[in-house]
């Protein structure tokens, strides 16, 4: 248990039996009335984001979330198999838990997997990954770096927009949060 005065970004709370991650918080002390804490919370399982206001000093339950560095091994049916880099355990993580991270996940890549009571909550990738372009239409003569974009398929099967000068076989840096092209690798 902690109070709303001790909230921090990234902290996971257990509210009404559901897990919520604190995205933003702001302590507010109006001229009249009691102080309160305005928060933006994200549901860990559904990804839903809500605004919630707490009175200052109210006790909230902090959920114990165990974040472990793991290496992605392979896909088995609908599950992704990871290996704990310390204990060598190999938990099977459902595709729904992996979510959009699957678009940027290659075998032997490391990721952070968060658990609550041994239940996997989510998979966190590095902010950017380097992937190879497996297919994209050739650019036309006169295409420049300031031109438009075209679709490209990555080695993981994900499709992103890249500048016209990128060719098949090149490695590109991709933002794992937005799926945006960041540059050549």
Domain boundaries, given as residue ranges, for the chain = 2-62, 66-124, 128-184
Q: In the predicted model, is pLDDT for residue 51 greater than 80?
A: yes
Task: Answer yes or no: are the C-beta atoms of 27 and 46 closer than 8 Å.
Answer: no
Q: What is the full DSSP assignment across the chain? A: -EEGGG--TT-EEEETTEEEEEEEEEEE--SSS--EEEEEEEETTT--EEEEEEETT-EEEEP--EEEEEEEEEEETTEEEEEETTT----EEEHHHHGGGGGG--TT-EEEEEEETTEEEEEE--SEEEEEEEEEPPPPTT--TTS-EEEEEETTS-EEEEETT--TT-EEEEETTT--EEEE-
d(CA 32, CA 157): 56
Percent of the chain with pLDDT over 70: 95
Q: In the predicted model, is pLDDT for residue 143 greater than 60?
A: no
What average pLDDT does the chain have?
Answer: 84
Give 125 or 139, the one with higher predicted confidence.
125
Place of tokens 């927009």: 161
pLDDT at 142: 60
Average pLDDT of span 131-154? 76
Of the pLDDT bands very low, low, confident and very high (cuts 50, 70, 90), residue 141 is: low
Domain 128-184 bears CATH identifier 3.20.20.70: no
Task: Answer yes or no: are the C-beta atoms of 79 and 93 closer than 8 Å.
Answer: yes
Q: In the predicted model, is pLDDT for residue 173 greater than 60?
A: yes
Q: What is the CATH number of domain 66-124?
A: 2.40.50.140
| Matching fold, domains 2-62 and 128-184 | no
d(CA 27, CA 55): 10
Average pLDDT of span 111-138? 85
Q: State the Cα torsion 129-134-139-145 to the nearest 10°.
A: 10
pLDDT at 86: 86
pLDDT at 116: 82
Domain 2-62 bears CATH identifier 3.40.190.10: no
Task: Answer yes or no: are the C-beta atoms of 120 and 65 closer than 8 Å.
Answer: no
Average pLDDT of span 158-183? 86
Average pLDDT of span 75-79? 87
- Predicted TM-score (pTM) of this structure: 0.69
d(CA 176, CA 75): 19
pLDDT at 147: 66
Q: In the predicted model, is pLDDT for residue 41 greater than 60?
A: yes
Q: In the predicted model, is pLDDT for residue 11 greater than 80?
A: yes
Q: In the predicted model, is pLDDT for residue 109 greater than 70?
A: yes
């Amino acid at each position: 248990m902690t109070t709303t005065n001790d909230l921090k970004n990234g902290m996971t709370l257990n509210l009404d039996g559901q897990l919520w991650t604190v995205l933003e918080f702001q302590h507010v002390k109006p001229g009249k009335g009691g102080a309160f804490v305005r928060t933006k919370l994200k549901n860990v399982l559904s990804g839903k984001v809500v605004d919630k206001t707490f009175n200052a000093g109210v006790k909230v339950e902090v959920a114990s979330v165990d974040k472990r560095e793991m290496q992605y091994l392979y896909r088995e049916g609908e599950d992704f198999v990871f290996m704990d880099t310390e204990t060598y355990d190999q938990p099977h993580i459902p595709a729904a838990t992996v979510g959009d991270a699957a678009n940027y996940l290659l075998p032997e890549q490391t990721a952070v997997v968060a658990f609550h009571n041994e239940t996997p909550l989510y998979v966190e990738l590095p902010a950017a990954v380097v992937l190879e372009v497996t297919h994209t239409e050739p650019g036309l003569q006169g295409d420049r770096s300031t031109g438009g974009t075209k679709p490209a398929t990555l080695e993981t099967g994900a499709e992103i927009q890249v500048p016209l000068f990128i060719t098949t076989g090149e490695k590109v840096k991709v933002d794992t949060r937005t799926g945006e092209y960041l540059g050549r690798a």
